[in-house]
Structure 1
């Protein structure tokens, strides 16, 4: 191989490596779940390198008495199917994010969305932690690795991770991560935490599982 061609391989014109031209080497599916209005759409949008696919609809009088708006009275839209985004990490790892709908009447979609998922991020709001119980119960029952990401809203009280763990009654091995879903760096920290947690669990699983 001549030196000119060798230089092209290692230093292409557009700054991307051969692996990047060929697409991601590893694709991971992650769910972003949690109660209504905890910040799922915000987190997906904060980290996605593509324009996120959103299925938001305006809240109407029809939802009165059905959707629990306590603590999120200012919310004007709701996800009715899913949010979708993508982020590429180092070493050709692409993460595909699927934000689940938070209202109870849309929970029937969770089984379909969770197929093939590496794990899940359960977003929590300390102003109404009970909104996270359904997601935690679902992933515990399914045996799906998950982390709890506490979205630190500006007007919410601050608590230590161990206090939140006790209030949610989750196992000691489940990571609790404080985050700001609006910030890309904070949201990425949550995703990396989930991937590391899922890999630890996979390494600890008995052979053949």
Structure 2
């Protein structure tokens, strides 16, 4: 039997670890569209907390991860800056759900508000992944959930975008959450 192909979007603010996550979990060499940050982008891109960042995604990241014999995930990482958000509608089209990455450091926490709003507004199931790749989090889970105004129905996981197993667990959680929201044949869709 042919495995089921599932499209997943990896989103979040600028510098939250989307490219790193796709690269760490993909079983194929990931496609990336990273370019050097330029002097022209300095007044536009908020580098607070990510001052050493030298590259940025300008279109998408792409990777593939087999979950089991029945499910293969195709990962589409979004660009993080506002000026590239016109691509998000195309990247999200047909997606089962999204993993929204959040950088929990105080100067970066607000960088993922827009991504959360995007998936909320379109009723696309999502899981919030708190990326612990800096190894520090000044907040408890309930504080992050409150700051992001997440309802209790939104799954929340801690992960390290560099760690394949950590990311795999988050993707499984997202897949379970999204599949649980699908309507049963013959029943009206949940609102």
Q: TM-score range by the shorter chain?
A: over 0.9
The residue that corresponds to 1:159 in the other structure is 139
Unaligned runs of 5+ in 1: 1-18
Distance 1:195 1:33 in 2: 15
User: Greater relative contact order (Cα 8 A, min sep 6): structure 1 or 2?
Assistant: 2
The residue that corresponds to 1:179 in the other structure is 159
Question: Whose helix proportion is higher, 1 or 2?
Answer: 1
Unaligned runs of 5+ in 2: none
List structure 1 segments (4+ residues) > 6 angstroms apart after TM superposition. Answer: none
The residue that corresponds to 1:109 in the other structure is 87
Is residue 31 of structure 1 aligned with residue 9 of structure 2?
yes
Residues 129-157 of structure 1: CA deviation (Å, up to 9, x unaligned) = 11010000000000000000000133533
Instruction: Answer yes or no: is the 8 Å Cα contact 1:34–1:132 preserved in 2.
Output: yes
**TM-score (norm: length of structure 2):** 0.93
Mean Cα displacement is larger for which, 146-155 or 113-122?
146-155
Is residue 169 of structure 1 aligned with residue 149 of structure 2?
yes
Q: How does 1:1-209 map onto structure 2 within 5 Å? A: 19=1, 24-127=2-105, 128-154=108-134, 156-203=136-183, 207-209=187-189
Compute the RMSD of aligned alpha carbons: 1.6
Deviation at 1:205, TM superposition (A): 9.8
Deviation at 1:103, TM superposition (A): 0.3
Report how many residues are paired.
187
Could you say which structure has the larger radius of gyration?
A: 1
**TM-score (norm: length of structure 1):** 0.85
Mean Cα displacement is larger for which, 148-157 or 185-194?
148-157
Deviation at 1:91, TM superposition (A): 2.3
Instruction: Answer yes or no: is the 8 Å Cα contact 2:79–2:85 preserved in 1.
Output: yes
Distance 1:154 1:120 in 2: 22
Deviation at 1:160, TM superposition (A): 2.5
Deviation at 1:202, TM superposition (A): 1.8
Q: Secondary structure at the match of 1:32?
A: strand
Q: Secondary structure at the match of 1:126?
A: coil
